[in-house]
């Protein structure tokens, strides 16, 4: 939010990992999806299967985006490296160990840290993420073959994510030899892990910090899943909705630090109430009645016979009493500490949107949850489109990433019930990019 400085990318990593850990600790997830300790293949096998499958996929797909030209296989090979056995040099850059993965255009090779990064990603987020890392690096190789190189890094990164999404769609359709029977929980786990990915020199020659925020990168991945490689191939600086860029200037005007938790909650609740007093009449033609908010301590939630609950019951809308309530001592502060103030905003926003759905007689389950997410996103849209000089609450790009992390924490698919985090992020983004009218 406007009153606090933007977060660095490293903080995003820390908060995302922490949120995943938070989810795991809450008992909603056990071992990482897809990683049955006894039967999981070695990470090296996961990598090799993925690379074989990517070659299959791009051999079939590349001609469709290159006027029929065949796919030139990777010439420089595939290089797992360790601290003791560092990667090959890339052009004029010496091969120095770093816990990452990269594509080197000069040598046309893909290299990855086989000692730390890949095993950790597989352990923490599952095999699918390892495959997606390789798919992303392959995406840079495709980019290089297509001659799309004179674009800002932020565009190139999103294009590589989009190409990875095109491969993911193929895997979801059951054609992959590397990943079969992919579950929504595995995808959500991989998305959480994607927020961690970094590119290092070897792929990019432009400024640091221009890789795109998680909100934009997940959008690109989903674009590839939904619309395929041809759409990805068309990515250019002038046709991508990049939320990161416009805010850098507004952020210059930002000052001060983080709002204290209580004050953040106060600001968010007031803003949501003000937003819904304007939005609900647009949505329904009816006036918005003030909504009571009841913060509570763990174990002493206000009475409600049939709460419409989220976060394992730590927050809910009560249809009988027509109020919202949330755990203001553990849930709220934990979200705030680990993910930032807009993670609390996502909680408040979900509850208000949930109330709006009930009040207009619509469901909050299944597709109804996706409408809740879109409505929540429409509040974000409103926050994003305010006059930068106004005194109202405003968002920074880091806030959108906090929203994505919060949705993954709240919305991770469990046991195949309810929409996946993947679908919830897409619904939220629809509201964020298009506003209330997109939410029906």
Chain position whose Cβ is nearest to Zn ion: 199
Cα distances (Å, whole numbers) of residue 233 to 61, 212, 351, 426: 12, 18, 39, 21
Site for Zn ion in 100-159 (CB under 5 A): 157
- String of DSSP letters for 260-279: PHHHHHHHHHHHHHHHHHHH
Would you count residue 199 as binding Zn ion (CB under 5 A)? yes
Q: Which stretch binds Zn ion (CB under 5 A): 48-56, 192-200, 220-228, 416-424?
A: 192-200
- 72-107 burial, b at 16+ Cβ within 10 Å, e below that, comes to eebebeebbbeeeebbeebeeeebeebebbbbbbeb
Nearer to Zn ion, 17 or 135 (CB): 135
Q: Is 37 exposed, middle or buried (0-12, 13-18, 19+ CB in 10 A)?
A: exposed
Nearer to Zn ion, 168 or 407 (CB): 168
Residue with tokens 């930068």: 388
Nearer to Zn ion, 200 or 284 (CB): 200
Q: Which stretch binds Zn ion (CB under 5 A): 194-202, 237-245, 337-345, 410-418?
A: 194-202
Nearer to Zn ion, 157 or 308 (CB): 157
Residue 409 token pair: 């924490």
User: Minimum Å distance from CB 139 to Zn ion?
Assistant: 7
Helix (H) or strand (E) holding 45: helix 43-65
Q: Which stretch binds Zn ion (CB under 5 A): 143-151, 198-206, 416-424, 428-436?
A: 198-206
User: Minimum Å distance from CB 24 to Zn ion?
Assistant: 27
3-state secondary structure (DSSP) of residue 317: strand
Nearer to Zn ion, 142 or 314 (CB): 142
User: Minimum Å distance from CB 327 to Zn ion?
Assistant: 39
User: Minimum Å distance from CB 416 to Zn ion?
Assistant: 32
- 313-331 burial, b at 16+ Cβ within 10 Å, e below that, comes to ebbbbbbeeebbbbbbeeb
User: Minimum Å distance from CB 47 to Zn ion?
Assistant: 16
Count of positions on this chain that bind Zn ion (CB under 5 A): 3
Nearer to Zn ion, 158 or 357 (CB): 158
Nearer to Zn ion, 200 or 231 (CB): 200
What are the φ/ψ torsions at residue 415 (nearest 5 degrees)? 50, 30
User: Minimum Å distance from CB 204 to Zn ion?
Assistant: 7
What are the φ/ψ torsions at residue 411 (nearest 5 degrees)? -105, 10
* Bridge partners, residue 102, by sequence: 111
From residue 263 to residue 282, the character string flagging contacts with Zn ion as x (rule: CB under 5 A) and all else as - is --------------------
Residue with tokens 């959108």: 400
Nearer to Zn ion, 105 or 345 (CB): 105
Residues that bind Zn ion (CB under 5 A): 157, 160, 199
């Amino acid at each position: 939010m406007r009153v606090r400085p933007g977060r660095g990318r490293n903080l995003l990593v820390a908060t995302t990992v922490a949120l995943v850990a938070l989810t795991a600790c809450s008992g909603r997830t056990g071992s990482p999806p897809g990683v049955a300790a006894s039967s999981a293949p070695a990470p090296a096998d996961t990598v090799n299967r993925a690379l074989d499958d990517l070659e299959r996929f791009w051999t079939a797909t590349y001609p469709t985006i290159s006027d029929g030209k065949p796919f030139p296989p990777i010439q420089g090979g595939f290089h797992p490296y360790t601290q003791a056995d560092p990667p090959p040099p890339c052009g004029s850059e010496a091969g120095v160990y770093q816990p990452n993965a990269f594509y080197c255009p000069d040598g046309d090779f893909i290299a990855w840290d086989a000692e730390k990064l890949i095993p950790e990603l597989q352990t923490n987020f599952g095999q699918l993420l390892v495959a997606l890392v390789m798919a992303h690096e392959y995406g840079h190789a495709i980019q290089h073959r297509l001659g799309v190189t004179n674009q800002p890094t932020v565009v190139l990164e999103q294009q590589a994510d989009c190409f990875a999404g095109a491969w993911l769609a193929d895997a979801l359709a059951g054609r992959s030899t590397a990943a079969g029977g992919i579950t929504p929980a595995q995808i959500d786990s991989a998305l959480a892990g994607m927020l961690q990915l970094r590119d290092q020199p070897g792929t990019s020659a432009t400024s640091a910090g221009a890789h795109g925020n998680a909100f934009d990168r997940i959008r690109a991945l989903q674009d590839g899943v939904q619309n395929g490689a041809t759409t990805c191939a068309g990515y250019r600086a002038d046709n991508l909705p990049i939320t990161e860029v416009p805010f850098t200037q507004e952020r210059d005007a930002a000052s001060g630090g983080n709002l204290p938790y209580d004050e953040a909650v106060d600001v968010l609740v007031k803003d949501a109430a003000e937003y819904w007093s304007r939005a609900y009449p647009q949505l329904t033609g009816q006036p918005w009645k003030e909504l009571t908010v009841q913060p509570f301590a763990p174990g002493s939630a206000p009475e409600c016979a049939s709460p419409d609950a989220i976060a394992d019951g730590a927050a809910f809308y009560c249809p009988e009493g027509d109020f919202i309530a949330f755990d203001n001592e553990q849930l709220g502060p934990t979200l705030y500490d680990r993910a930032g103030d807009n993670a609390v905003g996502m909680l408040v926003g979900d509850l208000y949107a949930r109330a709006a759905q009930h009040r207009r007689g619509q469901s909050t389950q299944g597709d109804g949850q996706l409408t809740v997410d879109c409505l929540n996103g429409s509040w974000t849209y409103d926050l994003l489109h305010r006059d930068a000089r106004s005194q109202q609450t405003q968002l920074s790009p880091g806030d959108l990433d906090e929203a994505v992390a919060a949705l993954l924490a709240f919305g991770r698919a469990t046991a195949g019930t309810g929409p996946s985090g993947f679908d919830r992020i897409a619904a939220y983004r629809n509201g964020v990019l298009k506003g209330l009218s997109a939410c029906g």
